[in-house]
Every structure is written in C-alpha cells, then in structure tokens.
Chains A and B, each alone.
Chain A
Amino acid sequence: MGKPGHREGATMQVKKYLVKCLHRLQKGPGYTYKELLVWYCDNTNTHGPKRIICEGPKKKAMWFVLTLLFASIVFWQWGVFIRTYLSWEVSVSLSVGFKTMDFPAVTICNASPFQYSKVKHLLKDLDQLMEAVLERIVAPELPRANATRALNFTLWNHTPLVLIDERNPHHPVVLDLFADNHNVSASGSPAPGRACNAQQCKVAMRLCCLNGTVCTFRNFTSATQAVTEWYILQATNIFSQVPTQELVKMGYSGEQLILACLFGAEPCSYRNFTALFHPDYGNCYIFNWGTAERALPSSNPGVEFGLKLILDLGQEDYVPFLTSTAGARLLLHEQRSYPFVKEEGIYAMSGTETSIGVLVDKLERKGKPYSQCTVNGSDVPIHNLYSDYNTTYSIQACIRSCFQDHMIQNCSCGHYLYPLPRGQKYCNNQEFPDWVYCYSQLRQSLGQREACIRMCKESCNDTQYKMTISMADWPSEASEDWIFHVLSQERDQSTNITLSRKGIVKLNIYFQEFNYRTIEESAANNIVWLLSNLGGQFGFWMGGSVLCLIEFAEIVIDFLWITVIRLVAFSKSLRQRRAQARYAGPPPTVAELVEAHTNFAFQPDTANPGAYPDEQTLPIPGTPPPNYDSLRLQPLDVIESDSEGDAI
C-alpha cells in the first residue's frame, strides 16, 4: 500500500521539478553574464579577482592582467609538477651498520673439475694427441715415427689444429700438424714448417661444417691459447656424452675436499654442505644455501664468529691440460641463488690462509613504474633454466638461459656448460658434427649477446658481497708438521703425511664490523608531495585552494546554464518571428496568451519586430537568483557607474 503511494509521491516530485525547470527555461536567464562574473569576482576566495572589481578602471585593468598572468603561471607550474611526478623519480636512502644477518651462502669449488686418476680412461686418446701436438709444435725436428702410430685421429680430424706459415705475407701456407701422415698440406715444398717459430707461424683451429665443405680458421697469436682452447673444446665433447651421475663420481668428493669446518663455535663438516655439479668446476659445495633448511644467521662480527674451513685441493691429481691454475674457487652469494663461480668467484691460493671480511651491499629498488626491474623474473620472456635448481631469478641466469636458447635454435643442441631444457641434448661430435663451427660463430656474435641483454631485466634486489681479502702463509713452518700429521690421520687414517703445502688452503670468512650497507629506493615524488606543491603554487600566486576550484566550476556551470537558457529563448524568438512574418500581425493566439500567462517577462513582439538588440540594453530581469540577493546591490552600482562614465 505504502509503496505505490511513495512511488507516486516521488514521480510527483520529479514532475514538479521538471515543470520548474521548464518554467525557468521559458522565463529566460535570471541574470546576465556580467552580473555573474562580478558576483564571482567579489565573492571568490582567490585573491586576484576581488581586486578587479573594487577599484578604479586603471587598477581594474592592471588587476585583470595580473590575475590572468598569475592564473597562467599557476597552470604552467602545475604542468611542471605533474610532469615531474609522472617521471617516477626515486630518491635513495643509505643505511650502514651492523645487524644480525643471514650468513652468505659460500660456494667452494676446486679449480680442476675432475680427478685425473678417475677420468684418465676418458681422456687417454685426447691426452696422447695433445702431447703429440705439443711435440710437433715445439720441437718439429725430432723424429716421431713411432709416436704417432697409436693416436686416435677421429678426434683430430673433426677439428684439427693447423700451422699458418706467414713468412710470405701474401701467400700464407696452411700446414697440418700431422702432414706427413695425411698429406693434407697443399704446399709441395718439403717440410716448410721445420724452422718455424711463433713470430712466423701462427697456430689456428680449423672449424668446418657441412661435411668439411665450409671451413673457417680461428687464429691465435700464441700456441698456448690455441692448444688450451682446442683441448677444452675436445674435452667438452667427451664429457657431454657422459651422464651427470658419473661425472659427479669423477670429481672431488666433499669428504676429500673439506677437511675441517667450523662455523662460529660450532663444528660442521662436509655434510653441512650442499653438493652441486658445476660444469666448469665439477663438484661444488655450498654452505648455508638455504634451499633445504633455514639459513644460518651470524650475529657477531669477527673471525671467531665466521666460517673457518680447511680444504685440500689435491693439486697432484689435476687434469694437466684442462686447468693450468691451481687453487680453490670461492663465491659468496645470496641464499637460494645459483652460484656463477666462474664469473664472480675469487681464487684462494694453496699454502695460504685467506681471510675474507664481508660487507653486504644491498640495493633495493622500486619496481614498476619507477624502473624496469623484475621481482621474480616471471615477466621476462626467457625461461630460466636455472630454476631447476630451485634458485631465484638473476640476470646472470637469464643471460645464460638466453644463450642456451639461441644455441638450441641455431645448432639444435645445448652447450655443455649450461643447463639443458627438457627434451634437448648436449652437443657432441657424433650426433651434431657442425656444432663447434656453429658454437664458435654464436659465441663471437655480438648481436646475440646484445639481444640477450635487451631481453633480460635486472632483478629489483641486488646484493653484492664486498670482500676485503688478505692472505698469509699457512701453515707456518713451525706448525706444518703436526698440522699435516693430524689432518692426514683424520682423513686417511694413515700415519704417513698425505697432504702437502701445494694442496692445502685455509679460509676464514666473517662479517666485518659494519656488515651491511643498504641502499633503498623510495619514491621521490609521491602524491602528498604533488598535492602540497600544487597547493603551494596555487596559494603562492593566487591564494587559492581546492574550494576555489569548486567555486570556479560552479560558475562555469552557471555560465553554461545561462547560455542554455539564452539559446532556448533565442530559438523561441526566432520561431515566433517566423510565425509573425507568415501571418503578418494576427491577433494574439491562444498559445501566445498562455505564454504570457506563464512567463512574466514575456512581451509580445508585435510592437517592433526587429527590436532584439544586444544583451546590455535588455531590461534587467525581474527575479534575481535567490542566493545572491544580498550582494546584488554592489554589482548593480558598478554597472550604473560604468554607464554613467560612458554617458559623460
């Protein structure tokens, strides 16, 4: 019952309102533009307009110009501020000090990936070949008839090393190192390379693809590099065919490598380390990686509260041609991040004690829209191959994944040094005979690297471990005997000394007195900054506020309203005039009478049809808006005085 009644009431209200509106429209504007402007100027809270109306004409003009000037300055400055805000600048805050922090993950590798005694059977052919090559390069005069017989030339023929004789710079002669066995050499002169030395002959690697039809030479200025590169390439080929489980067995075991471990006051052992097979360095061991268990914190600075390790490198068992540098490789990195030991690691020398003071240098960046960094790498168009190790995103991982992607696209096999995507195979000479050529092309190409750099994004949190490295001889001559004895006894249960100065390394890794330096980004210009600056500008030039803006908007609406009303009146008058023109002075119709009844301001135009002059001479409308009545007096005065001034 009540509901329809209520609805009826509402419709009535709306109807009433509409009728009122109609009447208002029909009545024409209640007041003029000028009135409205004057009223606004007098009553607004902004400072300039008030002065326009209250003084003499010269000052009026001056204040008008000033107000316009200030308003334009305000708008310009607002533009500047909004643009500054939208440039998303950041400010940084730096904090330095000591706090209890997670001890960094420590990755330890041996510089040699495998124990020679365990990989000898794989590398036997290659090593014999290598020795023969060295023999040929260094001492070509010696007879070698018996030495070359046992060599396996399948490896050699795939990517041979050649000597390029440049004694005649216009006709360089290419000489195969085993020319007398194969007669590949194009030159007919007998034994031209016999008296060749490094200044005259260069060693180069011949890389062929498409069954040896397309060949390039990779030149080296020194034989040392040539043979090293060649050996690494061949060894990569061999190891890529061996399953990883077997490779792990061939490397140094944790028990062998880590002799003693002490973290703070607590003893630890190789069991506290997570093993990771690294293609460059074989078995690496990571302390405090944080993938399986919680990371260990360290709450005190100093050596006594850090990690102390004694390692045995077993230098005698290094693969002789694969690595010429002996030492432990060491990398401090964040928890759950993949250790890129080869790129970022440092060496620790055997026979020394290396102390490393650590300062954690952290940079925390704001993500979008402040910078292009990525939080977890999910918005990077490259699949992170290192995520198989449960590691976090890093740009190094991205770039390597990108390279492997390109490798698979171009050479259709994956490189041994990088992880494999699912369903792909590592490159080897048997299945992919062109891979060496393809790989060396790809590695030289700058475009590939730049494409990867462009695609990969930096991660938002960047942690660097700044290290202060110092070294001392260890063990000292006085303590040498008993230390070796004890360590040998512990590891091998033998009374003989099985360790030597050449293999033993002591490491101390500890936090420095100030262990962190954090650079944190924060938005330089936030919305509060923007608002207060906008307010400051508006206030400074015009003394305005948001309410002034609302006032202004109100006036604009009023303006539009007046315009609408005028337009309606104008069109109506046009229609009337046309009607009048057609009937040429007929008596007032019923419609006109009705009009006259509803609209008080209505005047029949019969008296003078052309009398619609401009707005000023229109009679001042009868009903001013109810709100403004108290203020109307003054504007009227002004208008009067103006017109008086005109008349004089």
Chain B
Amino acid sequence: MAPGEKIKAKIKKNLPVRGPQAPTIKELMRWYCLKTNTHGCRRIVVSRGRLRRLLWIVFTLTAVALIFWQCALLVLSFYTVSVSIKIHFQKLDFPAVTICNINPYKYSAVKPLLADLEQETKAALKTLYGFSEIKSRKRREAEPCSSAWEGPQPKFLHLIPLMVFDEGETSKATDFLTGQKRKVSGSIIHKAADVMHVQESKEVVGFQLCSNGTSHCATYTFSSGVNAIQEWYKLHYMNIMAQVPLEKKINMSYSAEELLVTCFFDGVSCDARNFTLFHHPMYGNCYTFNNKENETHSTSMGGSEYGLQVILYINEEEYNPFLVSSTGAKVIVHRQDEYPFIEDVGTEIETAMATSIGMHLTESFKLGEPYSQCTEDGSDVPIDNIYNAAYSLQICLHSCFQTKMVERCGCAQYSQPLPPAANYCNYQQHPNWMYCYYELHQAFVQEKLGCQSVCREACSFKEWTLTTSLAQWPSVVSEKWLLRVLTWDQGQQIKKKLNKTDLAKLLIFYKDLNQRSIMESPANSVEMLLSNFGGQLGLWMSCSIVCIIEIIEVFFIDSLSIIARQQWQRAKKWWSQRQAPACPEAPPSLRGQDNPVLDIDDDLPTFTSALRLPPAPGAQVPGTPPPRYNTLRLERAFSNQLTDTQVPAES
C-alpha cells in the first residue's frame, strides 16, 4: 500500500465522517441549550413553568437584539477621528514671504498702452460727474497722448461703453459718449443691489455686455460711480494687458532692487538675490523671500530681530490712478510650494509705518479616506492643476474655473495662469469673451459649474496666524538721518530724495517657536472594535466567538443536515413503499432503524415514544434515547447510535 493511502486510511479510521448526533431538531436545540456557553439559553430549558420559560425566552431574545443593536452602533461609528493638539518647541522653517507693490506696473511705462483707455475714462468722468482734470500733485506733466497702440484703433472701447441708466425705465440707457439713447434689452443685474436696496439714486451707472451672435445681454449697474468706473476700467485693462508678452510686462513692473531698499534676516544682511520673481497678472512683479526648496531658511529664535526686516520703496508717483486707489504693499505668508493668492489673502502694508507681523505656526493634519473627503496631493481630484504649485482647494477652484472658461469661451481669463494650449482672452480674437466670462462667473458663484463639489480640501496644511501691529516709522527725531542714508542706499535706482511716504518698513518674525500641530487620528482600531464587541457579547450573554461558531454549527450545519437526513429517510421510505408491492418481504425498517424517529418526527422522542418503536432486527443497541437528560449519558447514547448510522452510508 502506498504511504499516502495508508495515511488516508488512517485518517478515515480516526476521523470518521459523522453527522449530527441529535436525531431531531428539537433534540438538537435542547442539547444546544444545555451545552452552550451562552447564558440565557440554558435557563429556557431548565426553567419550570410556562411563564418562566416564556420570560426567559423574552430575556434571551432581548439580549440578542441588544447585542445586535450595540454592535451595529459600534460598526457605524468606526470611522470617527479623535483630535490631538500638540505643541513642540523647535527650530521652525521660516515660511515663504511674498511681497508685492499694490500697483502692478509703473504708470510711466504702461501709459502708452493705456492712453486710449485713460482718455475714455477721463471723458466719462467729465460727462458723468463734471470732473475735468486730474490735479496731479507731483505727477509727470501729461504728455500728449499719442496712441502708442499700433495697428487698428481699438474698437472694443466703444462696444462696451459706460452708460447711465434711469432707475425708472430700465429699458433706456444713455451712452455718455455719444449721448444717444440705446435700447437696453436683457436683465439688469445690480451688483450688490439685491442685498443693499439702494433707493436714493435715480440714475445708476453701469455697462452692458452682449454676446455678438445672439441678442443676449447682461447689464451691470452699480450704486456708486466709483465702483462702476473701477470695474469698467479693470475690464478694459485686462483686455489690453492680455495681449502684452510676459517679458515686456516684467520690464514694466518694479525690479527687486527698486522695491527692496534694505533686507535683514536673522541678523544677516540679505538683498535682491535672496528673492525670487513671481509675476502676478494683477499685481505685477512680486518677490518671494525664502522660496528656494533646497535652501530653506529656518528660525531658531523668536522675536523681531531674528525674523525678516525689509524696508520697501513704494513709489506713489508711479501709481495708476484708476486701477488702484490705495497705496502700499501687500504681503502674504505661505508655504514654499504653495501658490500665493495675493488678491484673495494678503496683509496690506501702509507707507510711513512699521508693520510688525508676529507669526504663530499651526499645522493641521486630517485623515483621508474613509474618514473624510480630503485629498493628500490632489492627484485623485479630476481637475488638472494649472498652477505650478502644490495642491490646495483654492488652486483647484481656480483651475476648474479656468478650464471651464477655456471650454466654453475658447480663451483663458487673464488673472489666472494659462492652461496648456490656450491663450488669454482679448477682444480682437474673442469678441464675445466678456459676456461669456460674466455669465460663467455668475454660474460659478451659484455653484452651477460643479467646481465646488469636485474640488476637495487638502489633508494637511500649515497655517500662520498673524498678529499685526503698526507703529510710526521713522520717528520724528530719526527721520532726518534715516532718510538720508536710505537715499544713499537706494543710490542710482531713483534719482530723487526719498520721502517717508515712499517707504514702508515690514517686520515678519516668529513670536515664539511653539508649533501647534492639530492631528487627527483614528478613534477606533480593529482591536478596539473587537474588544468592544467582546464587551457587548460578554455583558449581555457571556458569549464569545466560540458561541458564534457554535451557533453557526448548530443552527446552520447540524440542523440543516438533520433536515436533509430526515428528507432523505422520508424519500427512501416513500421509495421503499412504492417498491413494496414488488418485494413485500423486504424489511422496510432495516434502513429506518437508523433514525428511530422517522415516522414520528414531529413529536418529541420521549421515553414512551421511543419504546413504541419497532426494534431493529439486526441492531445490538436499541436506538432509544436515554431516559434521563444526563449530558454524559446522552452523548454516549448518540455516539453509539451514530456508529450505526455510518454503516448504511458506506454500504
């Protein structure tokens, strides 16, 4: 014999396949209740009296229900987070600091491009408000505005004119340039008028955007002429600047040497070389300190003298009078790989002041899927990042809008980066873009574009809490000498004596080196869940996984096999009865003795019923259930019986 067969035979001998021991389901249940480790079940069997039994059945079922309920609660609350806040005192990385002049381009440089627009604006001011000439205090004498714009005379200015609307009759508007009345169709959209209810003004100023192909028009009106003119100016300004190449724009803006008079970081001098250029469409040249990924500065002491100290030269004379109406600089503190959204978040710096900005660093970490919807690096967000920076919610929203803009309008909006294979909108190539843009923007604000639902927040972010305070600078007594030295420092960049209103001092520093980290961690682990299950099972029923296996074994395997066995026996009996006329001599009970309760299966196999059974002719041991429900005896009786059961199965 092969050794494999030998082993097989041995296994067969030692581990014979046997069915369930109990003959009937009822018996099985009874056996289960007595032998099981769970607590309630035994009571049901042991209790005397119907009421008590009923009570125990109710209790047991309630306990089971409670277990299910509680475990369901545990499972449902599995994906919760616990938050921990930690403080570490350590050497901190200094953030990147981006500084921009509020005015994007030197007016003297950009004026030739904007000559027509300026003329138009002045004319509008004159006709609308009777304002004749800008009494520029020290502004360069207005050179004769010879239009430097080569090529065709820009007609777009006349396509979108400023108009005066009568509040009463919205369908009529006066074009201030030609004076002719125009028929206005389309809806009038008051900017902010929905919430503000400006009632006093009879006449409102605004402009109308129409799409060329269709007669759809959108009219924008403003309660104040200041807003109207600025918005209108901005619209045309973007149109013009979109056609200017980037190098030219950079040249028109301020250089780093010009903007930064002095720079001091952590007790060491720094200069323009420590700053990197970043061109922002609306703010011109911005300069970022500490932007280099590999050589990040860090701070190992708190306090203003260990931070960044810069003196900025804000040349107010070069300001564009219509585009910006405030003076100063904007500063934003951000991560090295983060895109500085100057126009959205930024601290403004006043001239002739020292602005001291104390920082506290807070780091937040969120748990991603499945705890929350945040994204680790934006790779799983279906929107291409058009910025050359790390993912953030704002980048996603802007990218989404820009992509949609390119899709719908065929060109990209000026104040955001260009997606691949697209160019900025201008009136020559895309005459419809303004209407398209405003319509799209409206939809975006009303969350109709779906950007807000697609974009998800980033899982980790650093946040610098800023405490800003102002002081007078330079002080009365130090003004004289300081301005002299600063003028020397600026040297040949500017050929004039500095005034204190041209300068702003900025101090950015860590107040202390405490870094707060807000971290989410899973509140539950699998171990905790299991031990909570164990606690629940133990509390209500003194149950364990073993009981669950028992339940599976008894209720599913054993009872099913009992049922199957009964069905099999019944079928066999039925078959033998059918065959009976053919061979009536065949003893029908030869097989039936396997299961003595075959014909009375719906009744309890009591002692009497067992006695009623026909004795099996060939069997040595009668298949009677034991008279007493002694566990010990029961088992022996069943085991004897079952060895018999096996015989016919094999034969």
Contact = CB atoms under 8 A, between A and B. Distances in A.
A485 B535 CA distance: 78
A396 B302 CA distance: 9
A95 interface: no
A462 interface: yes
A645 B472 contact: no
Given A219-B269, A326-B474, A396-B302, 11 more contacts: A70-B546, A225-B264, A316-B477, A324-B474, A325-B505, A326-B472, A344-B512, A537-B527, A539-B537, A539-B538, A540-B531
B469 A469 contact: yes
A517 to B, nearest CB: 11
A537 B477 contact: no
B475 A92 contact: no
A349 to B, nearest CB: 5
A326 B481 contact: no
B87 to A, nearest CB: 6
Contact of A540 (B83, B474, B538): B538
Interface residues of B, number: 88
B305 A342 contact: yes
Interface residues of A, number: 96
Residue among B267, B354, B488 with most chain A CB within 10 A: B488
Contacts of A70: 545-546
B530 A540 contact: yes
B513 A77 contact: no
Interface string A129-168: 0010010011000000000000000000000000000000
A222 to B, nearest CB: 4
A543 B544 contact: yes
Contacts of A462: 87, 514
B545 A224 contact: no
Interface in B296-314: 300-305, 311
A589 interface: no
Contacts of B300: 446, 449-450, 453
Given A220-B269, A450-B91, A318 B542 contact: no
Interface string B90-111: 1100000000000000000000
Interface in A385-406: 395-396, 399
Interface string B445-482: 00000000000000000000001111111111110011
B531 A323 contact: no
Interface of A: 47-48, 50-51, 54, 56-58, 61, 66, 70, 77, 80-81, 89-92, 111-112, 116, 131, 134, 137-138, 197-199, 219-225, 227, 315-316, 318-321, 323-327, 340, 342-344, 346-351, 363, 365, 395-396, 399, 443-444, 446, 449-450, 453, 456, 458, 462, 464, 467, 469, 471, 502, 519, 524, 532-544, 633-634, 637, 641, 645
Contact of B484 (A134, A346, A533): A134
B547 interface: yes
23 contacts: A54-B635, A56-B15, A81-B531, A134-B485, A197-B488, A197-B492, A221-B263, A221-B270, A224-B486, A225-B264, A315-B475, A315-B477, A318-B475, A327-B354, A344-B303, A349-B469, A350-B472, A395-B512, A469-B469, A532-B535, A535-B534, A541-B545, A543-B542
B182 interface: no
Contact of A199 (B15, B491, B537): B491
Contacts of B635: 54
A230 to B, nearest CB: 12
Nearest to A342: B303
Contacts of B216: none
A327 B471 contact: yes
Interface in B333-360: 353-354, 356, 358, 360
Contact of A223 (B90, B471, B488): B488
Query: Top 3 A-B pairs ranked by shortest CB distance?
Result: A540-B534, A536-B531, A327-B471
Contacts of A58: 15-18
Given A47-B37, A324-B478, A57 B489 contact: no
A134 B534 contact: no
A563 to B, nearest CB: 29
B82 interface: yes
B473 A541 contact: no
Contacts of B262: 221-222, 224-225
Contacts of A92: 83-85
Contacts of A458: 87-89, 514
